[in-house]
Amino acid sequence: MNRVAEAGKAVYDLPMTANCWLDKGEKPGKYPSGGPVSRRMEWWKFAAPAIDVIAPDIYVQNFCEICDAYTKMGNPLFIPETATHSHVGPRLVYTVGHHHAICFAPFGFEDMGQEFSGTQSYLFGVDTSDPLLQTPQNVEEYRWYNQTLAAMMSMLADAYGTDRLQAVITEVPDKNRMMFGSYGFMVLFDLPIIQRKDGVCLALQVSEDTFYLIANACMLAPFSADPEKPNVDLLALEEGYFEDGKWVMTRRLNGDESASMNFGEPTLLKIKLFSYK
C-alpha cells in the first residue's frame, strides 16, 4: 500500500497496481513476457510483495478465461483497460456479478459507439467470425448498465465475497446455472426465440426467496433445489429501477410474461419465489 496524506488530514492507504500486457500469440520480446502475465503471477507475488493488485489489460478474445486466470492467489479482478465492442456491456455486468470486480474501465471510453479505426481493430482483436467483436457497444445500453449497477452499488458491495451475488454470460455457455441455497436459476441463451448474442444475467439474493436480476438476451427458468419441495413458482415478478436506494416498480409481470421469462433488452427485475410439493 502507498500511504497518502495532506497536512492536518487523515492518512489513506492506496493500493498499488501493475498493469499487464497480455500475450496475443506473439513471441517473447514482441510483448513483455516477463511482465505480470498469469503464468508469472507467483513470481511477482513473491518478488514484489508491495504490489497489491495485478491488473490485466484485456483485448484478447478469451475475456472470461483471462478473468479466471487473474483471480487466483487472492488477486482481485481489476481491469484498467478493455475493448469497447458489443461484448463490453455484458462483460461489465458479468465481472461485477461473477468475479466481484473492483474496476472495469473500457479504453477510449469517449469514442464508444463509433466505428473502429484500423488501429482500434488491431488493438481490440476484431474477429470476423464474431459480429459482436466488430460492432461498437450501444452507448445507451452501456449507460443503462452503469446507471443500474451504480444505483444498486450499496447492495452489491454488501454481497461482494459471498454467494449471494452471481452472474452468467453467453460467452461461457456451459456455466449457465446459479444456485442460492434452496433456489436456483437456469439461464438459457441459445434459443431460436433469442436473436441477440450478447446475453448476460446477474442475480443478487436479498432474502431466502427474493432476488434482483439484471437480464438481457436470455430466458430465465427458476427451479427448486429442495427435494422436499421440488416445484417452484412465482409470488411476484416486477420490472423497475432503484431511486435513492429504494425499489420503484414500473410494471408487474404475470400471465404469459411470467410463464416465459424471455428478455430481449437489458431489464432489471425483482422476483419472489416459493417452492412446494
What's the pLDDT tens digit per position in 153-199? 999 999 999 999 999 999 999 999 999 999 999 999 999 999 899 99
**Residues 114, 8 share a domain:** yes
**CA contacts within 13 A on the Cβ side of 159:** 24
Determine, yes or no, domain membership for 255. yes
Quote the pLDDT of residue 1: 59
Domain hosting 103: range is 2-150
In 3D, which of 34, 57, 37, 65 has the Cα closest to residue 123?
57
The answer on 269 and 241 residing in a single domain is: yes
Q: How many domains does the chain have?
A: 2
Is the domain of 45 the same as that of 77?
yes
Last residue of a domain, one of 150, 185, 201: 150
In the prediction, which pLDDT does 242 show?
97
CB atoms within 10 A of CB 100: 19
Q: Alpha carbon of 149 to those of 53, 93, 210: distances in Å? A: 23, 8, 18
Identify the pLDDT of residue 8.
Answer: 62
- Same-domain status, 145 and 170: no
pTM recorded for the entire structure? 0.91
Q: What pLDDT shows up at residue 113?
A: 79
- The CATH number given to whatever domain includes residue 200 is 2.60.220.20
* Residues with pLDDT less than 50, the chain: none
